[in-house]
């Protein structure tokens, strides 16, 4: 293979001394060892807390100005980005285009291995061009080992278009350097199965993406207290959740909560605003629109400030 890069020095490729006899362990010993090693993920998140907070702030500002969030990765890293993006619409009622996952190989790579496609810098760059990314947008490049050309092609193309960039990897800076706005290093150490970054590296990456997307949505006003007041009421489970949120926050009965939810066209935040302010739907809708859907700001506008749980 042309220009084969030696990667044995990378933290994610090294051999874990704690699992030298992995193939000789009992099932219970295997479970205990995995549990022990997975504790490293919490340490890694704690060590990256400042960078994660910076990423939340930067992304919140960008989306508040009309930008979009793009995750870019290959293999496990790409699948995790697509998963996090796909979960935003039902959880926060965001349009599908607001948070997008880009994976090397496209949709087919979600269900079958296509690791050979991660080596193309040009494909990563082209993926950015096809989505017409601008200086309002944020690109999160995800690569456990730090070196994936597809991801770096996307990041470089994004920077050329003025986009803000975030890098998430599981190797230290001295092993691979990159110029981005926020550099997040999730150092969980070598995997129990050497090089299998779907393990601790995948777990800690999912944790970081959970924090980033949820943190951004909280900051954008899509949460009230710890309730998902922008939940998309698309099925019976989500309708039940919406009703319970209204019941808990208003002390209405189940039937009363259902009637209010119907009046608000299944918008929990609008239902709450209507109940607490006695506004009609149209006026409540207008006030929420004026404050970009932020319920606390809308309540303050109408002189209501003490509707706490």
Q: What gap in Å lies between CA 186 and CA 204, rounded to an integer?
A: 7
Question: What does each C-alpha distance from 236 to 38, 222, 239, 244 come to in angstroms?
Answer: 35, 21, 5, 12
- Secondary structure of residue 268 in the 3-state scheme: helix
What number is the average pLDDT over the span 113-124? 81
Please list, in sequence order, all residues whose beta carbon lies within 8 angstroms of the beta carbon of residue 250, skipping any fewer than 6 positions away. 257, 260, 272, 275, 276
Percent of the chain with pLDDT over 90: 85
What number is the average pLDDT over the span 185-209? 96
- Secondary structure of residue 165 in the 3-state scheme: strand
Q: According to the model, what pLDDT value does residue 309 have?
A: 47
Measured between alpha carbons, how far apart are the two ends of the chain, in Å? 61
Matching residue, tokens 């880009």: 102
Higher confidence at residue 203 or residue 304? 203
Q: According to the model, what pLDDT value does residue 117 have?
A: 74
Residues with a known catalytic role: 87, 118
Q: What gap in Å lies between CA 24 and CA 128, rounded to an integer?
A: 46
Per-residue tokens: 190: 């070598």
With vertex at residue 270, the alpha carbon angle to CA 265 and CA 275, rounded to the nearest 5 degrees, is 110
Q: Answer whether residue 113 shows pLDDT above 90.
A: no
Q: Answer whether residue 272 shows pLDDT above 60.
A: yes
Note whether 84 and 71 are within 8 A (CB).
yes
Confidence of residue 148 (pLDDT cuts 50, 70, 90): very high
Higher confidence at residue 76 or residue 2? 76
Backbone phi and psi for residue 203, each to the nearest 5 degrees, phi listed first = -65, -45
Q: According to the model, what pLDDT value does residue 5 have?
A: 67
CATH annotation of 11-219:
3.40.50.10490
Note whether 153 and 122 are within 8 A (CB).
yes
Q: Answer whether residue 214 shows pLDDT above 60.
A: yes
Q: Answer whether residue 156 shows pLDDT above 60.
A: yes
- Which helix (H) or strand (E) covers residue 100, if one does? strand 99-103
Length of the chain: 309
Domains 11-219 and 236-301 share a fold: no
Instruction: Map out the domains of the chain as residue ranges.
Output: 11-219, 236-301
What number is the average pLDDT over the span 41-58? 98
Residue 50's CB: how many other CB atoms inside 10 A? 10
Q: Which of 54, 13, 50 is closest to 172 using CA atoms?
A: 13
Q: CATH number of 236-301: 3.20.20.70, 1.10.8.1080, 3.40.250.10, 3.40.50.10160?
A: 1.10.8.1080
Q: Which of 2, 6, 5, 35 is closest to 18 using CA atoms?
A: 35
Q: Answer whether residue 152 shows pLDDT above 80.
A: yes
Mean pLDDT of the chain: 93
Could you tell me the pTM of the whole model? 0.91
């Amino acid at each position: 293979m042309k220009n084969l890069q030696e990667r044995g020095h990378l933290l994610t490729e090294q051999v874990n001394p704690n699992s030298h006899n992995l193939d000789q362990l009992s099932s219970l010993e295997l479970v205990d060892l995995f549990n022990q090693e997975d504790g490293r993920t919490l340490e890694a998140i704690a060590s990256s807390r400042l960078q994660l907070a910076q990423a939340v702030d930067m992304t919140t500002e960008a989306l508040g100005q009309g930008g979009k969030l793009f995750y870019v990765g290959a293999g496990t890293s790409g699948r995790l980005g697509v998963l996090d993006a796909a979960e935003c619409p039902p959880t926060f009622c965001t349009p599908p285009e607001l948070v997008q996952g880009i994976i090397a190989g496209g949709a087919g790579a979600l269900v079958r291995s296509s690791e050979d496609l991660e080596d193309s810098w040009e494909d990563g760059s082209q993926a950015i061009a096809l989505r017409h990314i601008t200086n309002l947008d944020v690109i999160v490049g995800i690569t456990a080992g730090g070196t994936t050309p597809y991801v770096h092609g996307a990041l470089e193309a994004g920077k050329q278009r003025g986009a803000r960039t975030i890098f998430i990897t599981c190797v230290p800076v001295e092993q691979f350097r990159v110029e981005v706005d926020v550099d997040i290093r999730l150092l969980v150490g070598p995997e129990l199965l050497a090089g299998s970054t779907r393990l601790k590296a995948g777990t800690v990456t999912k944790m970081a993406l959970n924090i980033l997307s949820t943190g951004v949505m909280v900051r954008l006003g899509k949460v009230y207290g710890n309730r998902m007041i922008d939940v998309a009421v698309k099925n019976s489970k989500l309708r039940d959740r919406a009703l319970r949120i209204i019941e808990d926050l208003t002390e209405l009965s189940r039937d009363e909560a259902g009637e209010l939810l119907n009046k608000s066209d299944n918008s929990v935040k609008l239902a709450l605003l209507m109940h607490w302010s006695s506004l009609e739907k149209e006026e409540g809708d207008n006030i929420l629109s004026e404050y970009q859907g932020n319920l606390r700001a809308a309540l303050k506008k109408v002189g209501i400030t003490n509707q706490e749980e």
